[in-house]
């Protein structure tokens, strides 16, 4: 556990890191970014909390079992979206033209609309959950291992 | 003997890499229509402003599936490894 100054600053910064990571994940189809990048940003926030507070404190609120659940859930969202387009072909973008994320932007430069992209925003969300939980779980496991702490089942 | 083998392997490796660097295609050759097609049509076909996301999750979705599988396997392996070592230390 680091000093009180570091802990206070980390407590304030984690909010902005989480918001920025979620923004990158959910705007992956409009602006540069996506599930992998946003998930890495959020996982880096988790790493900052582990460094500032120590793995012993983080272990109480960030359960490794729950992280595994979230990671598997993200993978299931991703593969489920891929299978949902099976009526035409694997990975078919079946939501284009429907009211849910189905708006088609004009070709060429345009201001951008969040309700576009078809299945891609949902896939971004799934991959973002998966990368967030996966990287956080790996870092937490390594930190617990180094500190000699028992990993909870 | 080991030095001779090492030099032999080194020379073969250098020749292989140098030939690869010298015989490389010039930039943009052979010409491909794929990138122009994606830039022109991705907004109309996949409703995406971000062509990179369109390629990643729609045109080449299977690649992303493999990538996600690699990450999943890596995370599973890391968690299994650190748990197993921890338990062994506890017993011994």
- Tens-level pLDDT at each residue, chain B (92 residues): 899 999 999 999 999 999 999 988 888 777 888 888 888 888 888 888 888 888 888 888 889 999 999 999 999 999 888 876 655 566 54
Residues of B within 8 A of A112 (CB-CB) are: 49
Say yes or no for a CB contact (<8 Å) between B57 and A123. Answer: yes
Helix A120-146 vs helix A4-26: crossing angle, to nearest 10: 150
Residue-range definition of the domain harbouring residue B64: 2-91
Which of A7, A91, A81 has the alpha carbon at shortest distance from A48?
A7
- ipTM, two decimals, is 0.82
Within 13 Å and on the Cβ side, how many CA atoms surround A138?
Answer: 17
Say yes or no for a CB contact (<8 Å) between A118 and B47. Answer: yes
pLDDT at A103: 85
Domain count, chain B: 1
Contact indicator for B69, A127 with CB cutoff of 8 Å: no
User: Bigger pLDDT: A153 or A71?
Assistant: A71
* Residue ranges covered by each domain of chain A: 4-146
Helix A120-146 vs helix A35-53: crossing angle, to nearest 10: 30
Which of helix, strand or coil describes residue A116?
Answer: strand
Partner residue opposite B50 with nearest CB, options A29, A104, A145: A29
Task: Verify cis geometry, omega within 30 degrees of 0, for the bond prior to A7.
Answer: no
pTM over 0.90: no
Residues of A within 8 A of B77 (CB-CB) are: none
């Amino acid at each position: 556990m680091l000093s009180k100054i570091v802990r206070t600053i980390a407590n304030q910064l984690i909010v902005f890191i989480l918001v920025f990571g979620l923004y990158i994940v959910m705007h992956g189809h409009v602006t540069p970014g996506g599930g992998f990048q946003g998930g890495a940003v959020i996982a880096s926030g988790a790493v900052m909390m582990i460094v500032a507070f120590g793995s012993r404190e983080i272990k109480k609120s960030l359960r490794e079992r729950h992280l595994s659940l979230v990671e598997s859930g993200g993978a299931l969202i991703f593969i489920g979206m891929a299978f949902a387009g099976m009526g035409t072909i694997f990975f078919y973008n079946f939501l284009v033209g429907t009211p849910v994320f189905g708006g088609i932007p004009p070709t060429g430069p345009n201001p951008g609309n969040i309700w576009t992209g078809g299945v891609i925003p949902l896939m971004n969300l799934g991959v973002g959950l998966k990368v967030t939980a996966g990287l956080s779980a790996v870092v937490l496991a390594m930190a617990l291992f180094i500190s000699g702490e028992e990993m909870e089942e | 003997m080991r030095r001779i083998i090492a030099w032999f392997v080194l020379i073969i490796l250098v020749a292989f890499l140098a030939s690869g660097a010298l015989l490389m295609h010039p930039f943009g050759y052979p010409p491909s229509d794929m990138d122009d097609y994606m830039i022109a049509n991705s907004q109309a076909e996949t409703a995406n402003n971000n062509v990179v996301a369109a390629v990643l999750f729609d045109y080449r979705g299977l690649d992303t599936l493999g990538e996600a599988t690699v990450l999943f396997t890596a995370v599973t392996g890391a968690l299994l490894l650190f748990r197993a070592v921890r338990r062994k230390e506890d017993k011994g």
